[in-house]
Chains A and B, each alone.
Chain A
Amino acid sequence: MDIHSISSSSYYITLLRHGESQGNFEGRHQGQANFPLTELGRQQTRVLVDRWLSEKKAFDLIISSPLLRARQTAEIISTELHTPLELDPLWMERDNGLMAGLSPEEVRETLPQPDFVHPYQPIGQTGESQWELYLRAGKAAQSLINRPPACYLIVSHGALMNMFFYAILGIAPQPNFHGPRFRFVNSAFATLQYNPRSHRWYVLGVNDHSHLLPLED
């Protein structure tokens, strides 16, 4: 099977985390606070595009979170790969309430630290609970499968992508952030296939970021 070719019977989904943003660089809890890409973030995206060009990878459509760090990542790819781009707020990062844009120290100083976090608890006082995020990720999966089978690139964010994995793998939200945590470094992606005839998800790879090797040290 060639996952790089555009096929009509299955969904081929590449789920990409945005490149490094100013908020990542400063170590802030971003949530829906709107930070742009850093120069490194742009560079990460460009080496990813080079890699995909050399692999002859093609997408029918790019769907991106409208938050700046995802949108800028998606725009670079859309231009270079000549692929249409749609923005969809379902793919936005978790609303983390009063934590948005704060450093970990600021969070510690200004917000209460609960001993126990249940999955219905709004994060950062006013943000989305883990269940709300999970439900949004489920909606995002549903909206994707409502489209015709094709090759899709989704540009999104770490926490939402984690709940997307929970939704497709059949993992429920758990208290105290238990449950597996899927790591995605900036500009890392996961590759998935969905067969609508058997309703089976295939996980072809997670946290692929081999394109970053030349940028290291």
Chain B
Amino acid sequence: MHWITLLRHGESEGNLQGVLQGQLDYPLSSAGIEQAHKLASFWKSAGSVFDLIISSPLQRASQTAEIIAEKLDPVKIEFDPLWKERCFGQLQGALLAEIDHREPPVDFFHPYDPIGGTGESQLELYARASQAIQNLLRHPPGSYLVVAHGGILNKALFVIMGITPQGHYHSPIFHFGNTGYAQFRYNSSSRQWAVLKLNNQVGFNEGSDFWNHD
């Protein structure tokens, strides 16, 4: 069995400012640091054990991963750029409130459209998430923690569940609050996925950047 926990980073300075971050590199805010510590303590007290932590190299994820690794029994962190957030092209750095203001923003967008002019299309993001899940399942059975971002985690869930990217707004969105996590069990002999939890959160309210924009 593969036991897989997919975790979104704690609140970052970019979340705090309400910025669409994409691959821009913001550190955790003080609230984000606290969220990571809280989750780490919860997992420590619950006796959670991870054989390996895989993290996006972006600071808001890597700092979250390091705080957790420090608290739990010695566990290695592997940084993998496949788990980076979606590149949002020219939208990166824009204020979410300004983007939301344009709702409905465009008449139609298809899944091959690069977002923000030069960013990743939904299909490119889905392909990257497929590769990331594929690599994860090449590891031997065990317990894995992935620390990443709302956009890429959404597409990882599509891959796991067998949902195809669709045009316009027709794909569902899985909400992940800051340090919200999803848990799965993959049985490599029956090849079945069990969805154990989605957006589980420990003892605090949801972060400011609520929806994952795509």
Contact = CB atoms under 8 A, between A and B. Distances in A.
Given A203-B172, A206-B198, A207-B197, A180 B166 contact: no
B175 A203 contact: yes
B193 interface: yes
Contact of B198 (A170, A171, A203): A203
Contacts of B102: none
Contact of A205 (B160, B166, B198): B198
B198 A199 contact: no
Contacts of A53: none
Contacts of B197: 183, 206-208
B174 A181 contact: no
A205 to B, nearest CB: 4
A171 B71 CA distance: 38
Interface in B185-208: 191-200
Contacts of B162: 171, 174, 179-180
B195 A200 contact: no
Nearest to A185: B196
Contact of B195 (A168, A195, A202, A206): A206
Given A180-B194, A207-B196, A207-B198, A202 B173 contact: yes
A199 B193 contact: no
B192 A171 contact: no
Interface string B153-174: 0000000111110101111111
A198 interface: yes
Contacts of A204: 175, 199
Given A200-B170, A202-B175, A169 B163 contact: yes
Interface in A107-142: none
Nearest to B172: A201
B112 interface: no
Contact of A180 (B160, B168, B200): B160
Interface in A179-215: 179-183, 190, 195, 197-208
B172 A183 contact: no
Contact-residue size bin, chain A (C-beta under 8 Å from the other chain): 20 to 34
A181 B195 contact: yes
Contacts of B210: 1
Nearest to A201: B172
A205 B199 contact: yes
Contacts of A206: 195, 197-199
A182 B104 contact: no
B193 A180 contact: yes
A203 B199 contact: yes
B195 A169 contact: no
A177 interface: yes
A171 B199 contact: no
Contacts of A147: none
A180 B104 CA distance: 32
A178 interface: yes
Contacts of A174: 162
A179 B161 CA distance: 7
B192 A178 contact: yes
Contacts of A203: 172-175, 198-199
Contacts of B194: 180-181, 183
A190 B164 CA distance: 22
B182 to A, nearest CB: 8
Given A170-B166, A177-B192, A183-B196, 5 more contacts: A170-B163, A183-B195, A199-B169, A201-B172, A205-B198
Nearest 10 CB-CB pairings of A with B: A206-B198, A198-B169, A200-B169, A201-B172, A205-B199, A180-B161, A180-B193, A182-B195, A203-B174, A204-B175
Interface of A: 1, 168-171, 174, 177-183, 190, 195, 197-208
